[in-house]
Amino acid sequence: MQSRMQNPAVVLSGAMQPIQDIFKSVHSGGVDEQILELVHLRVSQINSCSSCVDGGAKSARKAGVSEERLATLAAWRETPYFTEEQRAALLLAEAATRLADRPDAVSDEVWDTAATYFDEKQLAAIVLMIGVTNMFNRLNATTRQIAGAWG
């Protein structure tokens, strides 16, 4: 397997630093690190981004996400391993990633559930994590970035 090109954020001068600044902001939003990692990994699973799934699983492990959660993340609704707070974040992540799947992509019910567990700053961090992950998934999948190639 070979990538088509380097990640576009690396190729274009000045593109990577603002993205890294967004990640830094996300991680200062007061959301538990494990939740952010689960959100990143679940979005990457949905988008079939092998590079982000690989890197996301490694990052999640470093953040202390259990093997049970990692192994069952794709089926999180049917497992006992996730807290209600994690479930709310995952529900929001899935809805915001699958925008075209329903007319009201992120319903009030989905939003209100997340808002039960997270304040505005935390919601901003989660939504930014979802958005940046979706962007990287699209960059990586389009250019066929190789799982494990980033370290």
pLDDT at 142 over 70: yes
pTM of the model: 0.94
Q: Where are the alpha helices (DSSP H) in 3-119?
A: 8-11, 16-27, 33-46, 50-62, 67-72, 84-97, 108-117
pLDDT at 115 over 60: yes
Domain boundaries, the chain: 30-143
pLDDT at res. 24: 95
> Token pair of 144, please?
């066929």
Cβ atoms 116, 22 nearer than 8 A: no
pLDDT at res. 18: 95
pLDDT > 90 fraction of the chain, expressed in percent and rounded: 89
**pLDDT tens, residue by residue, 65-75:** 999 999 999 99
**pLDDT tens, residue by residue, 81-92:** 999 999 999 999
> Token pair of 26, please?
């996300």
What topology does CATH give the domain 30-143?
Answer: AhpD-like (1.20.1290)
Query: Across residues 24-51, what is the average pLDDT?
Result: 97
pLDDT at 151 over 60: no
pLDDT at res. 147: 84
